[in-house]
Amino acid sequence: MQEDSIDVKNILGLQLPSDPRWVDLAPLSLEDILTDHAYCEQKAATTCISLIQRYSQYEKLVTELAPIVTEEWGHFRAVLNELQKRGLKLGKQRKDIYVNELLLFQKKGGHVDDRFLDELLTMALIEARSCERFKRLSEGLNDEYLRKFYRMFMESEAGHYTLFITLCEHYLPKKKVRDRWKEWLEFEKDLMNRMEIRGDRIH
Ligand SMILES: [Fe+2]
Ligand SMILES: [Fe+2]
């Protein structure tokens, strides 16, 4: 049912619709799609573990992210299972230009609150774009089973996106969160444009 799929652009506040290359799945093999996806899930799990380790004093964050670690690892296992079921291999992890550039935009010095906010907003953004990408896959793949498979991921990552924003707003003033989120969205819009001009592949 594509009509009732969530309008990712409006809900997530992303400044650009998905790059058309995310819709054009033709040049990608299923092995590539699933391999990239598997590493995204791994990174989501390890980043949540790292946030718990570094911000253990934030009880709500620890409580809320602990089950997300399990969920993301479950996603990784589900993707791995899809690869193995099809006789495909988990390939090598590729350089993730998109995520690397987002990390460069994070504030490295300054007040701990600012670094904390940026780390959580980075995750929110990655979850939002993953959600959008899964929406494209859930609509663009030929295989009915895989369309449903990706719809499940889409819904899950949308929930994670909102969780990260909610956590920011729990610990920091809403206005601060909103103002910085706008800067992140602007940066991300430019990043997507730069990647498009350079012809970088987006995972
Ligand atoms: Fe996930
Ligand atoms: Fe997620």
From residue 68, give the alpha-carbon distance in Å to each of 77, 160, 196: 14, 8, 32
Q: Report angle CA 129, 77, 4 to the nearest 5 degrees.
A: 45
Query: 63-69: which pairs have CB atoms within 8 A and are 24 or more residues apart?
Result: 64/163, 64/167, 68/44, 68/160, 68/163, 69/45
Average pLDDT of the chain, as a whole number:
86
Please give the CATH number for the structural domain made up of 28-198: 1.20.1260.10
Task: Write out pLDDT tens, residues 167-191.
Answer: 999 999 999 999 999 999 999 989 9
How many angstroms is it from 72 CA to the middle of ligand 2? 6
pLDDT tens across 128-170, in order? 888 888 888 888 888 899 989 999 998 888 889 989 999 999 9
> What's the CA gap between 38 and 78, in Å, rounded?
9
pLDDT of res. 126: 92
C-alpha pair distances (Å), 188 with each of 10, 53, 117, 128, 164: 16, 27, 16, 11, 17
Ligand approaching nearest to the C-alpha of 125: 2
**If you measure from the C-alpha of residue 127 to the centroid of ligand 2, how many angstroms do you get, rounded to a whole number?**
5
Residues 6+ apart with CB under 8 A from 123: 44, 47, 48, 51, 160, 164
The answer to whether 173 and 114 are in contact (CB under 8 A) is no
**pLDDT higher than 90, residue 196:** no
Most confident by average pLDDT, 108-117, 139-148, 193-202: 108-117
Residue bearing tokens 């699933």: 34
Q: Which ligand is nearest to the CA of 39?
A: 1
CB 5 within 8 A of CB 138: yes
110 alpha carbon to ligand 1 midpoint, in Å?
31
For a pLDDT cut of 90, what percent of the chain falls above it? 59
Question: How much is the pTM?
Answer: 0.87
pLDDT of 110 > 60? The answer is yes
